Structure 1
Amino acid sequence: MIQRPPSPHDSHQPNRQRAQKMASAILYTLLVLLALWIVRGFIPAVAWACVISIALWPLLQRVAGQRWLKGRTTVIATCFTAVIMLLVVLPVGLGIAQAASEARDLTAWFQSVQENGIPMPDFVMHLPFGSQQIATWWHANLDHSLRESPAMKGLHGHAVVTIGQRFGARALHVVVLFGFMLVTLFVILQAGPRLPNALMKGARRAFGADGAQLVQRMAVAVRGTVTGLIVVGLGEGLLLGVAYGVIGVPHAALLALVTAVAAMLPFCAPIVFCGAALWLLVQASVAGAIGLLVFGFVVVFVAEHFVRPVLIGNSTRLPFLLVLFGILGGAETFGLLGLFIGPALMTVLMVLWTDWVRQ
């Protein structure tokens, strides 16, 4: 048999295939970036839905495993989504209703302040130091009619209208994102085990078995972070709620709920109980204010520095310092989503370091 000599076309075939693969990779990358740019406004909603679904996945599997619920993914997804919606809407609704009920008293107090000023609390004169300076400043700025003060004039100006418009637009944007988050969460939960199986298959194909295992550990880190934030937040809210009731802070139950929500974010609970302590000071309850401050800071210190890092670190096998850096650094970089992204990235860092040391 006479062999045909290789043609120049055959010799250039491997180069052409490599060029086509490179061009395909560039095209796919550009298309993915274009798609992400188009939906960039909804990425936070999708990210929140992913975080919530990862946290709920073990419970979802347990519920779906019940004999009388097998195959009813739509019913399960609807129930889970409705529960998440109620957990967010009910506290916000209660807060708005309580604020509306207090609006009349607040308006009357504001009008009284405009006409008569704010009287200086009696405890100021009993302070161990600085009482004279505080009293002088108070008499010069607050204990007379505030109608002509620059601050009160500013409250009736164009700045208030602008702030109100911006707040309304921001609130509407949050409501829309929350709606899209619920829709995305429903779709994820309705997909059931098919979605994580497809994701793991894609991760193995793209990054190998090690990459798929790393994705699993990141999901565990997110789940552990959600557990740590919720458990610690509810614990702080319960303990401080008891303190509010004992000391005599009004609306102790509602304030405990607000404290629990704030405590789910690192170091945000002091904003609530410090406000309550300030109210006690204005009411001349110095001992109650000091007791609430001391008790609150002790609870927050123990919860934020010991309980929360232990809960998150045990699930992710991360050291205390990496958990703390992940939570705080993630929140600073990515906002609220960073609370979950940070520990997940610290998990990646820990896995890479462990693999490097073992080589």
Structure 2
Amino acid sequence: MTDTADFFASRRANRIAKAALAIGLTLFGLWISSTFLPSLLWAAVIAIAIDPLYTRAECRWPAARRAVLPSIATVLIALLVLTPLALGVVEAAREAQALLQWLASARENGLPVPQWVAHMPYSNEIAGWWTQNLATPEAASHQFHTIRQSLLFEQSRLLGKGLIHRSVVFAFTLIALFFLLRERDAFVAQIRVASTRLLGPSAERIGAQVVKSVRGTIDGLVLVGIGEGAVMAVVYLIAHVPHPLLLGLLTAVAAMIPFGAAVLFGIASALLVGQGAVGWAVGVFALGMVVVGIADHFVRPILIGGATRLPFLWVLVGILGGVESLGLLGLFVGPATMAALMMLWRDLIAGAGGAMPAPDRPCPPDAAS
């Protein structure tokens, strides 16, 4: 009897030691790889997004699935990201000379009060401030010198640390994407076995829901954002906003974040006000807010909420909370995480079937009166 008790006690001690070792090694591994975890998550998000097209390509060219198809997919993703960036850099380089000439002219001659200031509220106060701070060469030179000094540290920090860090993350994301696509079937099988052992029968449904959530978020954020940018690029072109295509591209990127496109509408309107086209400025901003309202209140709730099975409030919490915690990556990870948590909550309340109990709240007798 004592030997049996010692045997079970020894097995229990071994299980506890094994669990403690596994938890310790997992935490240590996460700490070591914390710098590259965003790259791995980005690679997983991209792999989930392109999986339907990639699966068709594998079925059509099965002999190329080990090296050729992963390489082609990785190169296409790199071009998809780098091409707009390159266009933006080229456009910025074209305008650099004109900007330098304008700054030189402002330092030498000052900036006279624009005519559109007279049509603004508090025009006398604005004109007085402008005359005092920008109208004379000395005042304009002082203001530009102050702005330049305040931006030197921030610019050097972004170029020195942020740009290098993001380049490394992007490069490692492409490497991780290549191996993830090449070993996709093995990864999926291992994750399925491990999740089933940890979560039981609910693992398959949670995994499927996470995949649907990521794809629905991509449809609702990326595709709708691109649509908003395309519509507003046409509006910018009609309203004669400077650099309409570049502003349209930036609007598409900003529109992926809820309410982010309004910042670009404001910039476009400010540029039009600077040209004296106050009516066009108001029209562009108003039309942009209408486009954002339709996208955020009708299109996105259908695409994201239908895929994640979440009320749009929790979708919004996942998006904004994800952006606050993880940056751009949080746009996709946040809603998927909220969807998985909501599924676990539904399972906890209603059992493995996930059906929520019907509300039972009788009306008081005098409610009808």
Same fold (TM over 0.5): yes
Does structure 1 retain, via aligned residues, the 8 Å contact 2:242–2:271? Answer: no
Q: Is 1:343 matched with 2:335?
A: yes
Q: Which residue of 1 aligns with 2:68?
A: 75
Deviation, 1:147, is 5.7
Helix, strand or coil at the partner of 1:73: coil
Does structure 2 retain, via aligned residues, the 8 Å contact 1:277–1:290? Answer: yes
Helix, strand or coil at the partner of 2:111: coil
Deviation, 1:346, is 1.9
Deviation, 1:195, is 1.6
Q: Which residue of 1 aligns with 2:82?
A: 89
Find 1:18's aligned residue among 6, 9, 12: 12
Find 2:31's aligned residue among 31, 37, 45: 37
Q: Which residue of 2 aligns with 1:121?
A: 114
Q: Which residue of 2 aligns with 1:3?
A: none
How many correspondences in the alignment?
350
Q: 1:48-67 maps to which residues of 2 (within 5 A)?
A: 48-66=42-60
Q: 1:231-242 maps to which residues of 2 (within 5 A)?
A: 231-242=223-234
Deviation, 1:146, is 4.4
Instruction: Give the partner amino acid of 2:157.
Output: R
Helix, strand or coil at the partner of 1:51: helix
TM-score w.r.t. length of structure 1: 0.92
Q: 1:103-142 maps to which residues of 2 (within 5 A)?
A: 103-127=96-120, 129-142=121-134
Find 1:219's aligned residue among 211, 226, 231: 211
Counterpart CA distance in 2 for 1:217 and 1:335 is 22
Counterpart CA distance in 2 for 1:146 and 1:335 is 41
Counterpart CA distance in 2 for 1:152 and 1:146 is 10
> Segments of 4+ in structure 1 off by > 4 A?
146-150
Q: Which residue of 1 aligns with 2:194?
A: 202
Deviation, 1:286, is 0.9
Q: Is 1:186 matched with 2:178?
A: yes
Find 2:22's aligned residue among 28, 32, 35: 28
Counterpart CA distance in 2 for 1:290 and 1:210 is 52
Helix, strand or coil at the partner of 1:65: helix
Deviation, 1:324, is 2.0
Counterpart CA distance in 1 for 2:148 and 2:225 is 38
Instruction: Give the partner amino acid of 2:255.
Output: A
Deviation, 1:289, is 0.8
Q: Is 1:243 matched with 2:235?
A: yes
Helix, strand or coil at the partner of 2:200: helix
Does structure 2 retain, via aligned residues, the 8 Å contact 1:115–1:147? Answer: no
Counterpart CA distance in 1 for 2:220 and 2:151 is 39
Counterpart CA distance in 2 for 1:153 and 1:261 is 31
Does structure 2 retain, via aligned residues, the 8 Å contact 1:326–1:343? Answer: yes
Counterpart CA distance in 2 for 1:307 and 1:117 is 48
Q: Which residue of 1 aligns with 2:366?
A: none
Higher alpha-carbon deviation: 332-341 or 52-61: 332-341
TM-score w.r.t. length of structure 2: 0.89
What does the per-residue CA deviation read over 1:135-194, in whole Å, with 9 as the maximum and x for residues that have no partner?
12211212122467654333554x554333211121111111100000001111111322
Q: Which residue of 2 aligns with 1:354?
A: 346
RMSD across aligned C-alpha pairs, in angstroms? 1.9
Instruction: Give the partner amino acid of 1:31.
Output: L
Does structure 2 retain, via aligned residues, the 8 Å contact 1:146–1:152? Answer: no
Does structure 2 retain, via aligned residues, the 8 Å contact 1:218–1:344? Answer: yes
Higher alpha-carbon deviation: 175-184 or 111-120: 111-120
Does structure 2 retain, via aligned residues, the 8 Å contact 1:266–1:304? Answer: yes
What does the per-residue CA deviation read over 1:57-108, in whole Å, with 9 as the maximum and x for residues that have no partner?
1221122111x34453321111111111001111101111111111110001
Q: Is 1:164 matched with 2:155?
A: yes
What does the per-residue CA deviation read over 1:243-262, in whole Å, with 9 as the maximum and x for residues that have no partner?
01111123322322222122
Counterpart CA distance in 1 for 2:27 and 2:345 is 30
Does structure 2 retain, via aligned residues, the 8 Å contact 1:73–1:192? Answer: no
Q: Is 1:286 matched with 2:278?
A: yes
What does the per-residue CA deviation read over 1:274-332, in whole Å, with 9 as the maximum and x for residues that have no partner?
21211111110111111111111111122122211211111122222222222122222
Segments of structure 1 that go 5 or more residues without pairing to the other structure are 1-5
Does structure 1 retain, via aligned residues, the 8 Å contact 2:107–2:141? Answer: no
